[in-house]
Chains A and B, each alone.
Chain A
Amino acid sequence: MGILEISNLSLHINNKQILRDINLDIWRGHIHALVGTNGAGKSTLASAIMGLEGYKDITGKIFFNSELINALTIDQRARKGITFGWQEPARYEGISVSDYIGAGIQKNENNRAGIIEDALKKVALKPEDYLTRAVDETLSGGERKKIELAAIIAMNPPFIMLDEPDSGIDVATLDRMADAIKILKKKGTTVLLITHSLAVMRQADHAFLMCNGQIIEKNTADKIIPYFEQNCIPCDHKNKPDKRQVQEAMK
């Protein structure tokens, strides 16, 4: 049984169809990659799953733990156990890293400080250097991304979507970020990585290939990666591949 199921999901924005008839199962405890070049619709699909403003008016159905969640608000979905890590996370004047990470921790949790420090260490940040800093413009893009991942780790939801988790991260700490994702998997967390990075795709067990707002193939990451590398990157949406052609090529 999947943790998240999507059936016949379509989305129009300003009379333009952005997502087309998406059907998807996300498997509990596995790492998935939503793969495609820029503009394929990956982030839009994740935004629709999270119920973000402007992405709520879908047709089709989204089930989380077998419960229909179409009508739920963002925070209601989050409290069910879904969260989303933005490609470029928001910045906040006057909110400390400690306070920001702590926002997602259960209110009755007794070990808040320990969880926050542990989450920072998992993304290769020294708590003593960051706890009191503001989550504002003084952080570099890479630092902000790591703090976003730390906040998600501290929140510890069963299902996490991470949009381009490696963007803005320096090469030296990419491995630590990959380790953090592996730790999530070990804990049984289900992860959906939204990416066009081959390095990130390689962390996934399963992959969904998106093109022009459609899922054109679902397979193991091992099979999708070479196809994506050889066909999608040079093509960049110019051709509109038929699902059968893609499946044939995978064979």
Chain B
Amino acid sequence: MSADKNLASEITGSANIESDIFKQKDIAHLLIQHDKVVGKHAVEGLKIVTEKIPNGIQINLRLRKGTKIKKPVQMCFGMMPKTGIQRIKLNAVIEKNAHINVLAHCTFPNAENVKHLMDAVLTLEENASYKYYERHIHSDKGGVQVVPKAKIHVGKKARYITDFELLKGRVGLIDIDYETTCEEQSTLEMNARVNAYSDDIVKIREAGHLKGAHSRGVLLTRVAVRDQSKAEVYSELTASAPYARGHVDCKEIVQDNGIVSAVPVVKVNNPKAHITHEASLGSVDSKQLQTLMARGLSEEEATDKIIQGLLQ
């Protein structure tokens, strides 16, 4: 087995992905270990160009007009060493009427002092769709800093959905900053689910600007905070076109000495636009807890079940 194959096998194994996936010709993939591309395969209509940059990789991804990729593209960003920096620069263009689903696995199973820096610029042209499901697997040492930044432009009638999940291992420090602009009749959905404990720090800033008439946007955040961990969630949704509709929904559960804050900012600059928001911060709901306890679950078991459900 070549060195690259070994590395590829290491990162896919740590992300619990079946390696058979990467042998299938109809599944595109991109595997990056630290600053090295260890696996790459594109399918018809998808172009992936990679280039080495200091401590990382520049990715240029383009999906040709009208292409609909049936099976999700698998991306894996891993750092197997205990220390180091991984910088990923992603520039993606989804052309008119093209559709793509991406499953991104970010795995840092041994991290003691690892930085994962992501800078992404995404452009969705008219009636394009891009679903990006990002799943993180970290070590239990808390030595990871994850700093993803993204600027997304969602064109007319296009659809952008992102789902960020960090439920396995310690968060360490996470500092998300996503900003999206939506044109006429486009749809935006940004979800983030994070489970923090020990002295983890979670910072999430999600902003959506509904600039086009009839555009839609939902920002949804679920964070559980335990021990001495802290979370700050800043969700901003603005609507400045007629019939733009949006909703901001933030729920944070606090246990032990955790600290949470949520800042929902909603702005409406057009009398025909409408945005709602709801935020719930605090301990586990007493009625939910007592109901499960009345079924025989201990307080700890019931609390875990409620938190797991919230982060599903």
Chain A residues near B (Cβ < 8 Å): 50, 52-53, 73-75, 77-79, 82-84, 86, 89-95, 99, 103-104, 134, 151, 155
- The smallest beta-carbon distance between B284 and chain A, in angstroms, is 11
Please, how many angstroms separate the alpha-carbon atoms of A217 and B308 in the complex? 46
Q: Which of B286, B291, B311 has the most CB of A within 10 A?
A: B291
B296 touches A78 (CB 8 A): yes
Q: Which of B287, B293, B294, B299 has the most CB of A within 10 A?
A: B294
One of B286, B296, B309, B311 near A155 (C-beta < 8 A): B296
Q: List, in ascending order, chain B residues with CB within 8 A of A134's CB.
A: 309
Please, how many angstroms separate the alpha-carbon atoms of A95 and B308 in the complex? 8
Chain B residues near A (Cβ < 8 Å): 251, 285-288, 290-299, 302, 305-306, 308-312
A94 touches B286 (CB 8 A): no
A50 touches B294 (CB 8 A): yes
Q: List, in ascending order, chain A residues with CB within 8 A of B293's CB.
A: 73-75, 78
Please, how many angstroms separate the alpha-carbon atoms of A50 and B287 in the complex? 13
Q: Which of B286, B296, B305 has the most CB of A within 10 A?
A: B296
Q: Which of A73, A99, A103, A155 has the most CB of B within 10 A?
A: A103
Q: 16 A-B Cβ contacts within 8 A?
A: A52-B290, A73-B293, A74-B290, A75-B293, A75-B298, A75-B302, A78-B293, A78-B294, A84-B294, A94-B310, A94-B311, A99-B305, A103-B295, A104-B295, A134-B309, A155-B295
Q: Which of B290, B302, B311 has the most CB of A within 10 A?
A: B290
A90 touches B291 (CB 8 A): yes
Please, how many angstroms separate the alpha-carbon atoms of A134 and B288 in the complex? 14
Q: List, in ascending order, chain A residues with CB within 8 A of B311's CB.
A: 94
A86 touches B309 (CB 8 A): no
A53-B286 in contact given A93-B309, A93-B310, A94-B311 (Cβ < 8 Å):
yes
Q: A74-B294, A75-B298, A93-B251 given; name 11 further pairs at CB < 8 Å.
A: A75-B299, A75-B302, A78-B295, A90-B285, A90-B291, A91-B288, A92-B288, A99-B305, A104-B295, A151-B295, A155-B295
Residue of B nearest to A95 (CB): B309
CB within 8 Å: A-B pair count? 64
Residue of B nearest to A88 (CB): B287
B295 touches A90 (CB 8 A): no
Please, how many angstroms separate the alpha-carbon atoms of A74 and B286 in the complex? 12
Q: List, in ascending order, chain B residues with CB within 8 A of A89's CB.
A: 291
Residue of B nearest to A107 (CB): B296
Please, how many angstroms separate the alpha-carbon atoms of A155 and B306 in the complex? 19
Please, how many angstroms separate the alpha-carbon atoms of A82 and B293 in the complex? 11
A103 touches B305 (CB 8 A): yes
Residue of A nearest to B285 (CB): A90
Please, how many angstroms separate the alpha-carbon atoms of A94 and B298 in the complex? 20
Q: List, in ascending order, chain A residues with CB within 8 A of B294's CB.
A: 50, 74-75, 77-78, 82-84
Q: List, in ascending order, chain B residues with CB within 8 A of A94's CB.
A: 308-312
Q: List, in ascending order, chain A residues with CB within 8 A of B287's CB.
A: 86, 90
Residue of B nearest to A148 (CB): B291
- The smallest beta-carbon distance between A107 and chain B, in angstroms, is 9
Please, how many angstroms separate the alpha-carbon atoms of A73 and B302 in the complex? 13
Q: List, in ascending order, chain A residues with CB within 8 A of B292's CB.
A: 103
Please, how many angstroms separate the alpha-carbon atoms of A103 and B303 in the complex? 13
Please, how many angstroms separate the alpha-carbon atoms of A225 and B309 in the complex? 43
A92-B309 in contact given A53-B286, A53-B290, A74-B290 (Cβ < 8 Å):
yes
Please, how many angstroms separate the alpha-carbon atoms of A53 and B284 in the complex? 14
- The smallest beta-carbon distance between A48 and chain B, in angstroms, is 13
Q: List, in ascending order, chain A residues with CB within 8 A of B288's CB.
A: 90-92
Please, how many angstroms separate the alpha-carbon atoms of A94 and B291 in the complex? 16
Q: List, in ascending order, chain A residues with CB within 8 A of B295's CB.
A: 78, 83, 103-104, 151, 155
Q: List, in ascending order, chain B residues with CB within 8 A of A92's CB.
A: 288, 306, 309
B310 touches A75 (CB 8 A): no
Q: List, in ascending order, chain B residues with CB within 8 A of A151's CB.
A: 295
Please, how many angstroms separate the alpha-carbon atoms of A94 and B310 in the complex? 5
One of B251, B296, B310, B312 near A104 (C-beta < 8 A): B296
Please, how many angstroms separate the alpha-carbon atoms of A135 and B31 in the complex? 38
Q: List, in ascending order, chain A residues with CB within 8 A of B312's CB.
A: 93-95
- The smallest beta-carbon distance between A120 and chain B, in angstroms, is 16
Please, how many angstroms separate the alpha-carbon atoms of A51 and B296 in the complex? 13
Please, how many angstroms separate the alpha-carbon atoms of A50 and B291 in the complex? 10
Please, how many angstroms separate the alpha-carbon atoms of A89 and B302 in the complex? 15
Q: List, in ascending order, chain B residues with CB within 8 A of A79's CB.
A: 296
